[in-house]
Amino acid sequence: MSTYEAVLFQTQQGVEVDLRMILPEDACHLQQLLSHPEVQAHIQIRTGAGSDLAQVEKLVNRMLFAFDPCALHAGIYLKEQQKLIGIVALQHWNRHEGKATLGYMLDPAFWGGGLATEAVGLFLNYSVHTLGITRIEGRCRGDNIRSERVMLKNGMMLERVMPRVGSLDDVMKVFTLLHK
């Protein structure tokens, strides 16, 4: 796979959720998810000029319409309803080195039901076996036990704990999945 080759995500079917490309008609749901206070506490949106809403809109547009050879986003859809309930993504994808950073978020209404664990498992399997990624790193705040469990249940190992930027009393936990 070349460095700048477009990758169109292939639908992955699970038991409770499906992963598929995020469609423009899901923009409103995606914007609501990214704006949810409980979600925002666990994600980092790069700040720039404009309001928080403008930054969320920019991110939604980038996920839906901009090709980024260093990122791949997939929507998490509840199987029975085909409703967007979250996203899972590769970020900082270095195709030459086979490395990427895992990102994911789920609508808080669906937290605690195993859906994030299933979605992340499907995405990691796709990333390793279809895209050929050999090292995937995931991060979560020290107090985000649910996210930590999602990564551990999917075979990721705690690699290190480091101070969280901008906080004197919180840490960032870094997990990795290595595949040879």
Greater confidence (178 vs 50) lies with: 178
Q: Mean pLDDT over all residues of the chain?
A: 87
User: How many percent of the chain have pLDDT more than 90?
Assistant: 59
Phi/psi of residue 122, nearest 5 degrees: -60, -45
Domain ranges of the chain: 12-178
Note the pLDDT tens digit of each residue in 68-94. 888 999 999 998 787 899 999 999 999
Check whether 110 has a pLDDT greater than 90.
yes
**The pair of three-digit structure tokens given for residue 17, joined into one six-digit string:** 């959720």
Q: What is the pLDDT of residues 164-174, one digit of tens each?
A: 777 677 899 99
Interacting residues of 26 by C-beta distance below 8 A, sequence separation 6+: 75, 84
Q: Which helix (H) or strand (E) holds 171?
A: strand 171-178
128-148 mean pLDDT:
95
- Closest by CA position to 87, among listed 125, 27, 13, 30: 30
* pTM for this prediction: 0.87
**CB-based contact 76:106 (threshold 8 Å):** yes
How many other C-beta atoms can be found within 10 angstroms of the C-beta atom of residue 6?
Answer: 7
Q: Which of 2-6, 30-34, 52-56 has the lowest mean pLDDT?
A: 2-6
pLDDT digits (tens, 9 = 90+) for 18-47: 999 998 899 888 888 888 888 777 666 555
| Percent of residues, the chain, with pLDDT higher than 70 | 90
CATH superfamily of 12-178: Gcn5-related N-acetyltransferase (GNAT) (3.40.630.30)
- Does 120 have pLDDT greater than 80? yes
